[in-house]
Amino acid sequence: MKKYNFYSGPAMLPQGVFEQASKAVLELDNIGMSLIEISHRSKEFISVLEEAKQHVKDLLQLDDDQQVLFMQGGASMQFCMIPYNLLNEHETAAYLETGVWAKKAIKEAKMFGNVQVVASSSDQNFNFIPKDYVVPSSAPYFHLTTNNTIYGSQLHVIPEVGVPMIADMSSDIFSRPVEGKKFDMIYAGAQKNMGTAGVTLVVIRESLLGKVKRPIPTILDYRTHIKEGSLFNTPCTFAIYVSMLTLRWIKKMGGLEVMKKLNEEKAIKLYNEIDSNPLFKGVIAKEDRSQMNVTFTINRPELEEAFANAAKDAGCIGIKGHRSVGGFRASIYNAMPMEGIDVLTGVMKDFALKNG
């Protein structure tokens, strides 16, 4: 039986990427050595790194001042690196609070300066995206999270705020067209739409740096990684290679417009089943529903375990909701095929017929 990975991450990848990556572990491009044993400063790996960077630049339509870095530590490391590099003690950064990951970013920023939460949906268990807020013009930056993996909400319109804008795009990067020039910094863990776990993409405008007065440890200074071309310390060579293959696949498929179309079609089909099925209910305001992480509950809680088992028996793996919110969550990133959605909606229909 074919299995479909609905986990929030690490996510499924295109089959061709799996195949090419597995071959490279044995031998990279007929060089007589494995990808995972060659030097990160070898011409073979530098070629991989530069191709990956170029794909990012092309897909996000970046300009010359925006540097592409491949780093470690996940998005969680960026939560502290951002204020460490960009926020002076006397300044107040602006944050939009739309979920757990935004809350974690806010907590870290408070260690380095002041934070103003310009809007929050916490009082409604993060079931919508706030829209009416003002970002102070004095803020050194405004931080937002474009997609909320746990709750299943997503920013569908990027605001105009008048100050440098930083976006955590960990769970929806490369799922739709993004005007990269609008952002002064973008960061994302690779393990959703870009590759395997272990590497974090950072896009940062170089002119944003060098303005804080505090000393910054060498490895935590973005300028170090720009100067060294993401090679200050040994990078996650395998994870970068898989990211390069995945970005190459996105381009081959037709780019981000095609990704957007495919993701919209998958999300519409799944949400239509949730809305029409008498057993299930969506939990996010319809205008803010995520096209990456579809969250829903069952109207008869005593059937929750039975439905989870039925989905698992059909090959739908990982649909249990995050422990902090419960219910169900189907993560349908770029590589999830429509047939996976068909299998899951089929289980939902059958389960409702048997338990209606």
Q: Which of 168, 184, 221, 288 is catalytic?
A: 168
326-343 b/e with 16+ CB inside 10 Å = b? ebbbbbbbbbbbeebbeb
Tell which residue, 326, 318, 316, 317, has the closest CA to residue 283. 326
38-52 b/e with 16+ CB inside 10 Å = b? bebeeeebeebbebb
101 catalytically annotated = yes
Q: Which of 101, 172, 249, 288 is catalytic?
A: 101
Tell which residue, 355, 347, 328, 352, has the closest CA to residue 277. 352
65 catalytically annotated = no
192 catalytically annotated = yes
- CA 247 vs CA 158, 195, 202, 353: distances in Å: 23, 8, 15, 41
Q: Which of 53, 172, 184, 192 is catalytic?
A: 192
List CB contacts of 63: < 8 A, sequence separation 6 or more: 181
d(CA 239, CA 34): 14
17 — phi, psi (to 5°)? -70, -45
User: Which sequence positions are flagged as catalytic?
Assistant: 101, 168, 192
